[in-house]
Structure 1
Amino acid sequence: MIRASGTAGFRGPTVTVSSSRLTNAVVASLAVAALSLCLIVTLTVLSTKATMAMGLPV
């Protein structure tokens, strides 16, 4: 089997597949998702600590 030249791996010419606006929108949405996840984890930890501090009614 003979391999065609220029088709192996990443040696070919680079081609832009998306616009910079699309890339920026994806980056912004990932940043918002990461911040909201951090906020949810923080609220969960704080509410768990508050619940544990109250104790169980006897």
Structure 2
Amino acid sequence: MMRASGTAGFQSPSATVASSRLTHAVAASLAVAALSLCLIVTLTVLSTKATMAMGLPV
């Protein structure tokens, strides 16, 4: 039994999944999201520390 050439395996040329502009846009949006998450966590920690330093009114 003989196989037809090019019907099995990874012999077909690879196709580009996404353009470089799309890849860069996704990377930039992930970087902005990570930066904003770090900023939110920092502000939360600082505000918690400030609240704890004030103490409760008696």
| TM class, shorter-length | 0.7 to 0.9
What is the root-mean-square deviation of aligned Cα atoms in Å? 1.4
Give the alignment's TM-score, normalised by structure 2: 0.79
Q: Percent identity?
A: 82
Q: Identify the residue that residue 31 of structure 2 maps to in structure 1.
A: 31
How does the TM-score come out when normalised to structure 1?
Answer: 0.79
Is there any run of 5+ residues in structure 2 with no aligned partner, and where? Answer: 1-6
Within the alignment, does 1:14 sit opposite 2:14 as a pair?
Answer: yes
Q: Structure 1 stretches (4+) deviating beyond 3 angstroms?
A: none
* Structure 1, gaps ≥5 residues long: none
Counterpart position of 2:8: 5
| Structure 1 Cα separation of the partners of residues 54 and 31 of structure 2 | 35
**Who wins on radius of gyration, i.e. which is larger?**
2
